[in-house]
Structure 1
Amino acid sequence: MSGKLILGLAASLVLSGCAGLVATTSPTTRPEAATPAAPAVFDAGMVSAADPRAAEAGATILGRGGSATDAAIATMLALTVVEPQSSGIGGGGFLLLADAAGAVQSLDGRETAPQAATADRFLDETGKPLPFRSAVVGGRSVGVPGNIALAAKAHAAKGRLPWADLFQPAIQLARDGFTLTPRGYRSLSRQPDAGAHDEEARAIYYGADGKPLPLGTTIRNPALARTLEELARNGPDGFYKGELAQRIVAEVAAETPSDGKMTEADLAAFTAPERPAVCGTYRVYRICGMGPPSSGATTVLAALIQLEGFDLAALGPDSPVAWHLIAESQRLAYADRDLFLADPDFVDVPVAQLLDRTYLRRRGALIQPDRTMETVTAGLPTRTLARGAGYEERGTTHFVVIDRQGEVASWTSTIESAFGSGIMVGGFYLNNELTDFSFVPHRDGREVANRVGGGKRPRSSMSPTVVYGPDGKLLLVVGAAGGATIPVQVIRALVGVLDWKLPVDRALALPVLFAPGDTVTVEQGSKLETMIPALRALGHGSVRAAEMPLKTNAVQVIDGRLAGAGDPRSEGVAIAQ
């Protein structure tokens, strides 16, 4: 492997060094550079991703002199091959591009609804919301994919290597094959309505008996290899125009049992705009994330700033009171999120007001360490909007790249549910991203901000995040997968590193508590499950333990060196190059 070290498939901590890498939870003395080369911020770059084959693809590109952006694109393409249930070129994402000095750009590759889509797209003939799985599988749920346009925009801004070079690791994986891992096998087994929906997909991943191919099988996807070769030659036009675009439109339209079908014009019109990065201060740290249509940065920052009045460091991760406070802050942040967050091209999202420090201090004052708030509502007045409800992406992935020069790429990528819509074209699954819209467009005579609209992007929880220390230097890059739990996973990691001073691998191993409303869900089998009686004693009437779709990846800067980690619940790794 071109990466110098991989440490573990369940969780990893990798520290970069000049002459080699030391597998340890604390950094060793940094060796002097062997030759007086041009100054570099780090002795080695690093990739953290949810699959080791994809992380290796990114590390290979770093080893060839590629930028963090180049390596992130190669990682995204490789994940299309080896993690088809989660993300890929049939979906979209959000990408932060940053540097060690604090400059942050945010690019929006979120999918768009067809121009002909209407607000009642996910209602049945009686006006009631469709059952979720009925809405997911098929063409009704497919948005115009954004990842290739996003990659092209990022490459134009920050790429060093030729576009075609970035496709080679993924092409090789698709052509020569990759081993079916336990996580991939479980996904194929648990979600056959989407995974085996399409005949092309069944031929790749399932046997003649209709069951997933056995664990450890070498999977080859020659159709995807050909698609990637075409995109390597022709760039984004190879996706959004021409034969592939025609095939996508035909497949989606054939499985859309309603008006509002996708057209070739929808694909040709897609863009990946740059959005204002959303940054704020938590204690002494500057934290930046993705703004609307992502709810990630506003939710993460609101929840953290509301907690500034409490000494989480003194309480520590074993305190039920600490987790109670985190739960209460989540309830407040998610109430604002559910009411206001949507596509800013269609809805006036009050980002500045939601993150105003005076406002958030007032919200935080509602939180008490010895009791639970009886009711929680959004904190800003509105006469026109109703709180929306719906389902959000679960088949998502996040990856982080930092190169030797300190350039950063933090990319959350998704096709939404496992295997997306189930429709496969050219060897890749198409997303079901439109089910991230609120199914019900109106409540009590008010419009839901996240209702369906032609050309509109659905709200997302994806939360790519970059943190700078009090000295202004890069400190941590993190993101997660798991639908509406994504901001919570990021909050957990940030509290773990910034308040509890844990190394990044231990921070990602912390349990997760999810409290977007009146019910508190704690990670099943974790130490939080033993705290349920204490949480109930603090006033949380509904507390339950459940399995949650958790998957976080991060890279931390420690004394001028990089420490990477993959979530211990996943097959994630960090690789230095």
Structure 2
Amino acid sequence: MPTVTPDVKYEKGLVAAGSEICSEIGRDMLKRKGSAVDAAIAALLCVSVVNPHSMGIGGGVVFTIYNASTGRVETIDARETAPMSASNNMIENESKPGLLIAVPGELRGYELAHKRHGRLKWKELFEPSIKLAFDGFKIDSALAKAIQKNKNTILGKKSLCDVFCHPNNTTLRENDTIRFPKLAATYCRIAEEGANIFYSGSLTQTIVDDIKAEGGNITHQDLKDYEPALNESALNFTVGKYMYFVPGAPFGGPLLALMLKILNGYGMSSSNMSTDGNKILTYHRIIETFRFASQVEGELIEQHPDHVNAFVQNMISDDYAAAFIRNPMKDDTNKQLSNKEEHILCKDAGTSHLSVIADDGSAVAVTSSINRHFGSKVISQSTGIIFNDQLCDFRYAHLIKPGRKPPSSMSPTIILDKGKPKNEQVKMVVGASGGRIITSATVQVILNYLFFGYNLQKAIKEPRVHSQLNPDKTFVEDHFEEDIKKHLKKYYNIVDVDSTGNPNVNERPPVFLGKVQAVVRQGEKICAESDPRKGGHIPLDTDDYCRDCSE
């Protein structure tokens, strides 16, 4: 296993996938002269095997892709869509989990990304994950925790227990070996025949039947009609000396842009973290930004599709951030904000993000989801596919319409230094998993690395905060500085999250405040970090190398 040292240029690129084995599989594709997209797809397929509770081909995906040969950034939106039979009361019947399943877009997203940017054969991208699923692997901490958290559901559903239980009907634990032979066989067929086998081929009727058996109503036509959306000019904005590229609505890119625009007006720099007083003021401003952004998010979700683009362009403008957000914010109090009451249908947790910078300077930020852990809890006994429950992501029931995509916080972000040559323009590739916490987690890592001058490892490990209006609470991770937290309690309803992800008070906060995967370019060096909150770390001997990558 090669060692990367700070004084040499690493020429094979790096992948941060939240799983050591998947980061290595993606990196191996780069070593085979594959593209950044090849590495991303191979790593995604691996994650769908290693962490099947988070993502898979029964879900949806969004890519942000930088092509170093053209200098252009595009997005591919393969988010799930509501089936043509969707109605605003269909998700109220908990006895029919199949009704929560939206039309999966994952494979169509892979297919389009590969057609546009792939170098290796489609089949080659599947081979490592097929072997992994057939041969088996030891369960990591992330999957083990998900199994334990959903233990009762798994034990009560034979199709799940057949996969995630021992023969004596006890659930698998960390370091137990698990295999997915049915999923491996399905991957073999997709590798040979392409994505059409899922949407209009020999697997289609099986998928329809599996979903129908669980009360769902996705049809053969729903699958056949599914198309990903290509945007050859990704939503972009400038903050400081860098240009940011993100997916637009219905994803979290516009919200991330608004947050950064607001905070940039305060002149964020390393001095913000230089004294306790500066830190207190900075975190107060960060929390207020998150709360104001939460209010705007509610307005964004309500926009009619015909008006959403105009709304987004206004909300990410410098004038909007200054006049409508930053000016009303006060440094010595928190502003009372109105917010429409929401009916949160289910807490989302089943998401994965990975980041790639390739040797030619191209990059991919990609986030994939099946929504909650193990999605709808519907697993196909014939194909091994776990299906999403993305219809839960519609915040308000009246927004559920046939063919519509639910809102999402997913924010795969590519940050460019446009003053550099095209093959050196990528400064940072970053994104997160964690439901509604994705945008706030990603913003804080960007601030930590690009503005506060932390090295990448510290930027990701640093304790985070998250605040929103519904519920109107501010969550604070374990090891957050007590003096700062004590001051913040004067203004905010603080909920502590300890190091195991359990509440210290009688609340139910998220397990962690997002899990971030990032790759950065620092001069001639490339560094990658996977969030330890998800048990992730990068293979190779890169710890010292990444610690050296600071502004």
What is aligned with 1:21?
Answer: 4
- Provide the residue aligned with 1:107 in structure 2: 76
Equivalent position SS for 1:569: helix
8 Å Cα contact 2:464/2:477 also seen in 1: no
1:61-118, Cα deviation, whole Å (9 max, x unpaired): 1121111101111111111111101011111111011135742100001001110101
Taking the aligned partners of 1:430 and 1:339, their CA distance within structure 2 comes to: 30
Confirm or deny: 8 A CA contact 2:530 2:536 kept in the other structure.
yes
Aligned to 2:179: 220
Partner deviation per Cα, 1:317-343 (whole Å, 9 max, x = no partner): 861221110010111112111221379
Query: Which whole-Å CA distance do the structure 2 matches of 1:389 and 1:292 have between them?
Result: 21
For residues 344 and 172 of structure 1, what CA distance do their matches in structure 2 show? 45
Give me the whole-angstrom Cα distance separating, in 2, the residues matched to 1:289 and 1:253. 36
Check whether the contact 1:110–1:272 (CA below 8 A) recurs between aligned residues.
yes
Structure 1 alignment gaps of length 5 or more? 5-19, 23-27, 32-41, 125-133, 378-385, 442-450
C-alpha displacement of 1:119 = 2.0
Instruction: Please tell me whether the aligned partners of residues 468 and 474 of structure 2 are also in contact (alpha carbons under 8 angstroms).
Output: no
- Per-residue CA deviations over 1:484-543 (Å, capped at 9, x if unaligned) read 000011001111011101111111112221111173333332215653320133x22x22
Aligned partners of 1:459 and 1:486: how far apart in 2?
13
What is the aligned partner in structure 2 of residue 335 from structure 1? 295
TM-score for the superposition, normalised by structure 2 = 0.88
Q: Distance in 1 between matches of 2:272 and 2:473?
A: 20
Number of aligned positions between the proteins: 512
In 1, Cα distance between the equivalents of 2:85 and 2:79? 18
The aligned counterpart of 2:507 is none
CA distance in 2, matches of 1:389, 1:492: 27
**Identical residues among aligned pairs (%):** 27
Q: Which residue of structure 2 lines up, in the alignment, with residue 127 of structure 1?
A: none
What SS does structure 2 have at the residue aligned with 1:305? helix
Which residue matches 1:420?
Answer: 375
Residue pair 1:343, 1:458 contacting (<8 A) in 2 also: no
Compute the displacement of 1:344 (Å).
Answer: 7.3
Partner of 1:119: 88
Post-superposition offset of 1:346: 6.7
Aligned partner of 2:504 in structure 1 is none
Partner of 1:369: 331
| 1:544 lines up with 2:495 in the alignment | yes
Find the aligned partners of 1:113 and 1:198 in 2 and give their Cα distance. 25
Please say if 1:431 is aligned against 2:384: no
More helix by share: 2
- SS of the residue 1:227 aligns to: helix
| Conservation of the 8 A alpha-carbon contact between 1:395 and 1:419 | yes
Q: 1:330-366: per-residue Cα shift (whole Å, max 9, x none)?
A: 1111211122137975763411111121111111112
1:521 to 469, 474, 478: 474
The residue that corresponds to 2:160 in the other structure is 201
**Matched residue type, 1:210:** N
Show the counterpart of 1:483.
435
User: 2:463 maps to what in 1?
Assistant: 511
Tell me the CA shift for residue 193 of structure 1.
5.0
SS at match of 1:315: helix
Q: Structure 2: how far apart are the matches of 1:368 and 1:64? A: 54
- 91-100 or 187-196: which moved more? 187-196
Q: Which AA in structure 2 matches 1:201?
A: L
Equivalent residue number for residue 557 of structure 1: 521
d(CA) in 2 for partners of 1:320, 1:530: 9
TM-superposed CA distance for 1:387, in Å, is 7.0
Preserved CA contact (<8 Å) 2:292 2:337: no
CA contact (8 A) 1:122 1:439 kept: no
| 8 A Cα contact 1:121 1:452, kept in partner | no
Alignment gaps of 5+ in structure 2 = 502-509, 543-551
Q: Tell me, in whole angstroms, the C-alpha distance in 1 between the residues paired with 2:23 and 2:79.
A: 23
CA distance in 1 between counterparts of 2:418 and 2:463 reads 27
- Would you say the 8 A contact 1:43–1:561 is kept in 2? no
| 1:323 maps to 2:300 | no
Higher relative contact order (CA 8 A, sep 6+): 1
Please say which of residues 101-110 and 84-93 is displaced more in the overlay: 101-110
Deviation of the 1:220 alpha carbon: 1.3
Match of 2:12 in 1: 44
Instruction: Write out aligned runs for 1:1-400 (5 A).
Output: 4=2, 20-22=3-5, 28-30=6-8, 43-100=11-68, 102-123=71-92, 134=94, 138-192=97-151, 194-196=153-155, 198-256=157-215, 261-275=217-231, 276-294=233-251, 296-313=252-269, 314-316=271-273, 319-341=279-301, 348-349=308-309, 350-362=311-323, 363-376=325-338, 389-390=343-344, 391=346, 393-400=348-355
Summarize the Cα distance change of 1:229–1:471 in structure 2 as closer, same or farther, 3 Å threshold. Answer: same
Structure 1 residues 196 and 439: CA distance shift in structure 2, 3 A: farther
1:260-285 per-residue CA deviation (whole Å, 9 max, x = no partner) reads: x1101111111111135111111222
Structure 2 counterpart SS, 1:307: helix
137-146 vs 61-70, greater mean Cα deviation:
137-146
Q: 1:348/1:215 Cα in 2 relative to 1: closer, same or farther (>3 Å)?
A: closer
Alpha-carbon displacement from aligned partner over 1:118-138 (angstroms, at most 9, x marks no partner): 1222346xxxxxxxxx48x72
Instruction: Give the aligned residue type for 2:4.
Output: L
